[in-house]
Amino acid sequence: MTKSSPLSSPRRRAGRRALAVVSVIGAIAAAIVVFAPATTPAEAVFAGSNGKTGCSAVNMGHTKFPKFVYSDLTSRVEAHADYARSNVVDQTHISTGDDTSLDANTNVVIYDSAYASVCGYDWYNEVDGGTLALTMCDTVYSSGDCRQHSIRISTTYFSGATTAQGRGLLCHELGHAFGLMHASSSGTCMKYGVTNPAQDWDSTEKAQINANY
Ligand SMILES: [Zn+2]
């Protein structure tokens, strides 16, 4: 997922304080803290094939020839998705294509909408930021890799985003769809919460992708 600034709004600080209190209380804290991507160590750049599905899961895709479906996208989201596929994903061992219809064999589905809440996340609004986009693994193969990913892009954010921000956002979410985790380096689009994101994966991430597809 991707979140936007302002990262230190009063509401978010209050949320962190509340979380800290919960963690002091005891053993149930581990089950409550679901913000796994934010605490991932920087060196963990690739999720691998791990069988994970759901709202905060990052799991690598099944094939180096993934078939995409765009679900009635706005023209800007579609254009930036095309850009990120051609200029980022297809520059690795992965070669993307288009599916003729959305079915169980579709590998990546991209949706966009003015989301208010998906997976319980606080989605973007102009006052206090929020979640810009979310990539989920919806179904897995028995081997553990992801059969179908869904990517959701906030049109509320996207309509006011620059071209660079839009390209960076699609680069980021597609990274998750192929197994990349969040990064601490600003040299990759996999870092989140930045105003002017990079628009490409870095060499370490590309090496991980190429080693796994
Ligand atoms: Zn993310």
The string of pLDDT tens digits covering residues 159-211 is 999 999 999 999 999 999 999 999 999 999 999 888 899 999 999 999 999 99
User: Looking at the 3D structure of the chain, how many domains does it have?
Assistant: 1
The three-state secondary structure class of 143 is coil
Distance CA 195, CA 178 (A): 24
Q: Tell whether the model's pLDDT for residue 12 goes beyond 80.
A: no
Cα 63 to ligand 1 centre (Å)? 21
Contact 115, 123 (CB under 8 A): yes
CATH number at residue 48: 3.40.390.10
Cα 144 to ligand 1 centre (Å)? 21
Cα 153 to ligand 1 centre (Å)? 12
Cα 23 to ligand 1 centre (Å)? 24
Cα 4 to ligand 1 centre (Å)? 11
Distance CA 29, CA 25 (A): 7
pLDDT band at 53 (very low <50, low <70, confident <90, very high): very high
The three-state secondary structure class of 171 is helix
- pLDDT average, residue stretch 112-127: 95
Distance CA 20, CA 13 (A): 11
pTM for this model (two decimals): 0.82
Q: Tell whether the model's pLDDT for residue 5 goes beyond 70.
A: no
Please give the residue range of the domain that contains residue 160.
Answer: 2-212
Cα 190 to ligand 1 centre (Å)? 7
Q: Is 63 exposed, middle or buried (0-12, 13-18, 19+ CB in 10 A)?
A: middle
Ligand 1 is a single-atom ion; what residues have CB below 5 A from it? Answer: 1-2
**Tokens coding 112:** 């966009």
Contact 176, 58 (CB under 8 A): yes
Contact 164, 45 (CB under 8 A): no
* Top-confidence residue, 203 or 7: 203
Cα 37 to ligand 1 centre (Å)? 7
Q: Is 14 exposed, middle or buried (0-12, 13-18, 19+ CB in 10 A)?
A: exposed
